[in-house]
């Protein structure tokens, strides 16, 4: 009689698709409906639509400079910024929603090393693109949230 051990091997599943406030990467959307219906959108060349002032708050935190770019009707880029003092809370929201980051970097401004001026960036990887969360400690002391469909 032959006895053996069988171990099922499964390939790791790809990271989930990025989704934020009703915008889903990889899915068709329009600037006339859903989360973009009240945004200031304009059509650009090569199938791009740029929408400004999409968000004013995220998780109760005031944000500014919000921007969404659609390419061929799909989410291509989402960006917003906020005060440095809110970075920790935004990061908690991102980690709760998407899990631990897949990478990151910490850089010092070469001209301002003595003042400790730096940028810390973490990234989350998705099947459809990459989310970068930056905490900048110079000039404007702000955080930046940017998803980009770079796949």
Residue pair 49/28 in contact by the 8 Å Cβ criterion: no
Q: What is the DSSP string of 38-74?
A: TSEEEE-STTEEEEES--SEETTEE-EEEEEEEETTE
Residue 1 in domain: no
Residue 52 in domain: yes
Residue 29 in domain: yes
What pLDDT, on the 0 to 100 scale, is given for residue 104?
Answer: 84
Residue pair 66/20 in contact by the 8 Å Cβ criterion: no
| Segments of the chain scoring below 70 in pLDDT | 1-15, 33, 106-118, 137-140
pLDDT digits (tens, 9 = 90+) for 46-82: 879 999 888 888 888 999 889 999 998 899 999 999 9
Distance CA 66, CA 142 (A): 13
Distance CA 130, CA 124 (A): 6
What pLDDT, on the 0 to 100 scale, is given for residue 8?
Answer: 43
User: And the tokens for 110?
Assistant: 């070469």
Query: Domain of 73?
Result: 23-148
What pLDDT, on the 0 to 100 scale, is given for residue 133?
Answer: 94
What pLDDT, on the 0 to 100 scale, is given for residue 68?
Answer: 92
User: And the tokens for 35?
Assistant: 């989360």
What pLDDT, on the 0 to 100 scale, is given for residue 141?
Answer: 73
Residue 9 in domain: no
Residue 17 in domain: no
Q: Domain tally for the chain?
A: 1
């Amino acid at each position: 009689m032959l006895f053996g051990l069988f171990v099922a091997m499964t390939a790791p599943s790809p990271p989930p698709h990025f989704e934020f406030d009703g915008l889903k990467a990889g899915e068709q959307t329009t600037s006339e409906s859903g989360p973009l219906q009240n945004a200031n959108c304009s059509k650009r060349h090569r199938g791009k639509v740029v929408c400004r002032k999409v968000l004013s708050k995220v998780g109760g935190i005031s944000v500014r400079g919000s921007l969404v770019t659609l390419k061929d009707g799909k989410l291509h880029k989402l960006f917003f910024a906020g005060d440095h003092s809110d970075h920790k809370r935004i990061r908690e929201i991102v980690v709760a929603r998407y899990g631990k980051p897949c990478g990151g970097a910490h850089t010092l401004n070469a001209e301002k090393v003595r003042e400790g001026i730096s940028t810390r960036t973490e990234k989350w990887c998705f099947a459809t693109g990459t989310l970068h969360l930056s905490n900048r400690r110079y000039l404007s002391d702000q955080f930046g949230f940017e998803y980009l469909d770079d796949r």
